[in-house]
Structure 1
Amino acid sequence: MILDRLGPRLIVMGPSNSGKSTLAQAIGRARGWPAVHLDQLHHRPGSDWVPRPAEEFAALHDAAILAEHWVMDGNYTRLLPQRLARATGLILLDVPTTTSLWRYLRRCWFETARAGALEGGRDSVKWDMLHHIAVTTRANRRRYAAMAVTLPVPVLRLTGAVALARFYRDEGLRR
């Protein structure tokens, strides 16, 4: 199994709304590991995605990576060096921009409970997020792909929904 080769501390990165939190939760459930959603550490619970102070987020992040087993989703590249120092593997999701946009709108309009959601929070459509997905994510996607080939840990790159669905099936994961 591919998950066995990636080890007990996994990072899941990729574009916004690419399925990182859902995958992390599925892996955590299957392996009995905590799924750590960086969005939940970065933002205040019960808010409309209001960030915590940077030092508070960094303290929560650094405490979480000390565990022996975890699967952690989110990018937050400012803290990536600490995460990589403890990680044993990385899964990089790469879905089309249109998929990310659709998933964002779907979660804002139709989903009331989802992996990685803020406790007591509610997703709402924001122009900044639409812009981030449609514009900023393209450069990030290239940057993450270039970074992945230089990492000292095993990397699994899943490009597109078909590859992601195959991974779920082959690893016996449930969404």
Structure 2
Amino acid sequence: MHIPPLSDFGNRIMILGPTNAGKSTFTVALANTLEVPAIHLDRYRHLPNTMYEQRPDAEFKALHDEAAALEGWVMDGSYSAHFPVRLPRTTGIIVLDESYLTRNWRYVWRTVFQKDRPGGLEGNQDKLTLEMFRWLWTTRNNSPEVRAWVSASGKPHVLTRNTAETNALYRAWGLRNPHA
């Protein structure tokens, strides 16, 4: 995996990847290094103190668009319907990936043991659900599509496939991974 210098990515960086690939943790580490806000779109999409109850679409769009207009950010989460606003402002894209089994393990770990985690909803109400295990299964093969789209975007990008490659990014860019 080729790791470009962090300076190639600017100060408005999208972090994409499947659920439980490590996006939120990486977002915080990168935002701290760049001294820009860490924006977790799940927190904008879902109401605090709920089990992922969605905000009304118009409210989510307003929060998203306001965040995308900021001078600098590291933003995790796809919500591709909002790419037309976010992508033109994006200066770099990072795709983190991980195996299906590891993502399932992370889901169990963070739900049962990690009550205060990067990207988690305020007032954490997380519970293990069959719906989330189905989501992890349904999205297990989405990476090739995302990788192809990002590679064709014309934006500076890097694509990881597993924890070892993501950890290589942490090291190469001098990021502090709180879980390492």
TM bin (shorter chain): over 0.9
Aligned mates of 1:2, 1:122 — CA distance in 2: 38
- Structure 1 position 152, deviation (Å): 2.4
Offset at residue 2 of structure 1 (A)? 2.1
Aligned counterparts of 2:151 and 2:114: Cα–Cα separation in 1: 35
Q: CA RMSD in A?
A: 1.1
Equivalence for 1:16: 19
Cα separation, 2, equivalents of 1:142 and 1:54: 28
- Give the total of aligned pairs: 174
| Equivalent residue, structure 2, for 1:68 | 71
Task: Give matches, 1:23-38, under 5 Å.
Answer: 23-38=26-41
* TM-score w.r.t. length of structure 1: 0.96
Instruction: Specify the SS of the correspondent of 2:120.
Output: coil
Mapped to 1, the partners of 2:139 and 2:36 lie a distance apart of 32
Q: Give the equivalent residue in structure 2 for 1:149.
A: 151
Structure 2 counterpart SS, 1:90: strand
What SS class does the counterpart of residue 152 from structure 2 fall into?
A: coil
State the 4+ residue runs in structure 1 displaced beyond 4 angstroms: none
- Report if aligned partners of 1:11, 1:90 keep a CA contact under 8 Å in 2: yes
Q: 1:100 is paired with a residue of what secondary structure?
A: helix
- 1:137 lines up with 2:164 in the alignment: no
> Could you list the runs of 5+ residues in structure 2 that have no partner in the other structure?
none
1:41 CA displacement: 0.3
What TM-score do the two structures reach when normalised by structure 2? 0.93
Partner of 1:125: 128
Shift of 1:51: 0.5
Quote the residue 2:46 is aligned against.
Answer: 43
Any unmatched runs of 5+ in structure 1?
A: none
Deviations 1:23-64 (A, max 9, x none): 000011111110000000000011111010111101100000
Identity %: 37
